[in-house]
């Protein structure tokens, strides 16, 4: 059994990871500033340190004595990166370097698995996108996530810290806050359709995304922690399946039995048209060829929304 630090553990993905670690008998410490995360997301057995991942003293205290770190703390919003460029940079890139710097000051370099994003690719020339395709981020968020990957290489090559970066595509599942303006399309659509409300689709609805269920993401995080590589690899965490925004709305309506009430809005500026990843590297090296089907995952989200509303 091991002790892990999960930064951002009170958030959507982090809290599911904490559940899985505790279920397998590990000890979990969480560093989270609760800016978007909730204390109530955490399993009771997790210890919360409320603090900023870009604060060197808070990070040094949080990593003392742990066997590994999952680094998920970030301002996970492309839109917020537009309005608060410097603030998101501080949390997203300075926070990551602060963590690596605290680890290299310890006697023992502990492994770090960190959240990157499909946003590192920008508008790719073709899909599915492989890890070897060029990274041309279009947003501050994507640029900072790419910066995290570059600094992870430094952490690995200069400071001998084993790192693995996971480029998450569109993650969805219970606990993704549908009320947040920065939330994923699935939580917003599920909440609107379940409440028999109208939906807003930007553009023609034919933009496609690669939706991956949070339990598959947790499996990828755990498998990545077991790797302890020397060459700072990065992996797409995706399904390889394209789903259009319109098809997604129809599928949710079908699952709820409600009819679709769609309002169309002009396409959003600089929105990426197609984002679908090639999962081959994760399938072979992390050993995760199976994925939860979209229909099954959506049913879980709808059950969670109905349960929260009850």
Ligand X SMILES: NC(=O)c1ccc[n+]([C@@H]2O[C@H](COP(=O)([O-])OP(=O)(O)OC[C@H]3O[C@@H](n4cnc5c(N)ncnc54)[C@H](O)[C@@H]3O)[C@@H](O)[C@H]2O)c1
Q: Would you say 1 or 179 has its CB closer to ligand X? A: 179
Is-contact 173 160, C-beta < 8 A?
Answer: no
Of the pair 192, 211, the CB lying nearest ligand X is at 211
Active site residue 213: no
- Cβ closest to ligand X, residue 5 vs residue 54: 54
Burial of residue 106, with CB atoms counted within 10 A of its CB: 0-12 exposed, 13-18 middle, 19 or more buried? middle
**Which one of 5, 66, 91, 190 is in contact with ligand X (CB under 6 A)?**
91
Residue 12 as a binder of ligand X (CB under 6 A): the answer is yes
33 binding ligand X? (CB under 6 A)? yes
**Interface with ligand X, residue 54, by CB under 6 A:** yes
Site for ligand X in 60-89 (CB under 6 A): 72-76
The answer to whether 111 contacts ligand X (rule: CB under 6 A) is: no
Out of 96, 98, 117, 208, point to the residue binding ligand X (CB under 6 A).
117
Q: How many other β-carbons are positioned within 10 Å of the β-carbon of residue 289?
A: 10
Measured from the CB atom, the residue of 32 and 149 that comes closer to ligand X is: 32
3-state secondary structure of 43: coil
Residue 266: burial class (beta carbons within 10 Å; 0-12, 13-18, 19+): exposed
Q: Give which of 250, 235, 238 is closest to 211, Cα–Cα.
A: 238
Beta strands in the chain (DSSP E): 3-7, 27-32, 47-50, 68-71, 112-117, 163-168, 170-172, 199-202, 208-209, 211-213, 234-237, 243-244, 262-265, 274-275
Question: Residue 286, CB half-sphere, CA atoms under 13 Å: how many?
Answer: 29
Please report, as residue ranges, which positions from 155 to 174 form the binding site for ligand X (by CB under 6 A): 168, 170-171
Task: Tell me the closest approach of the beta carbon of residue 222 to ligand X, in angstroms.
Answer: 15
> Which of 141, 146, 172, 213 is an active site residue?
141
> Counting contacts by CB under 6 A, is residue 35 touching ligand X?
yes
- Which residues would be at the binding site for ligand X (CB under 6 A)? 8, 10-14, 31-37, 52-54, 72-76, 91, 95, 115, 117, 168, 170-171, 184
Which residues are tagged catalytic? Answer: 141
């Amino acid at each position: 059994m091991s002790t892990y630090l999960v930064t951002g553990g009170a958030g959507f993905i982090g809290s599911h990871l904490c559940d899985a670690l505790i279920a397998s008998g590990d000890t979990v410490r969480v560093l989270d500033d609760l800016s978007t995360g909730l204390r109530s997301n955490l399993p009771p057995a997790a210890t919360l340190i409320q603090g900023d991942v870009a604060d060197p003293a808070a990070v040094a205290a949080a990593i003392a004595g742990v066997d590994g770190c999952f680094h998920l703390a970030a301002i996970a919003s492309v839109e917020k990166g537009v309005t608060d460029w410097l603030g998101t940079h501080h949390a997203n890139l300075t926070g990551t370097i602060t963590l690596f710097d605290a680890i290299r000051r310890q006697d023992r370099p502990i492994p770090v698995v960190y959240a990157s994003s499909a946003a590192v690719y920008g508008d790719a020339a073709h899909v599915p996108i492989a890890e070897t395709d060029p990274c041309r981020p279009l947003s501050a968020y994507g640029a900072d996530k790419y910066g995290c990957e570059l600094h992870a290489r430094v952490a690995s090559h200069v400071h001998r810290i084993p790192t693995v970066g996971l480029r998450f595509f569109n993650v969805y599942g219970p606990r993704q806050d549908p009320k947040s303006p920065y939330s994923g399309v699935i939580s917003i659509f599920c909440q609107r359709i379940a409440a028999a409300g109208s939906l807003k689709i930007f553009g023609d609805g034919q933009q496609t995304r690669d939706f991956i269920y949070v339990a598959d993401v947790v499996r990828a995080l755990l498998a990545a922690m077991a790797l302890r590589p020397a060459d700072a690899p990065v992996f797409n965490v995706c399904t390889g399946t394209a789903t259009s925004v319109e098809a997604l709305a129809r599928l949710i309506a079908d699952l709820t039995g409600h009819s679709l009430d769609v309002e169309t809005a002009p396409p959003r500026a600089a929105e990426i048209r197609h984002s679908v990843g090639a999962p081959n590297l994760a399938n072979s090296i992390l050993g995760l060829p199976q994925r939860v089907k979209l229909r099954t995952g959506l049913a879980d989200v709808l059950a969670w929304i109905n349960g929260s509303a009850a």
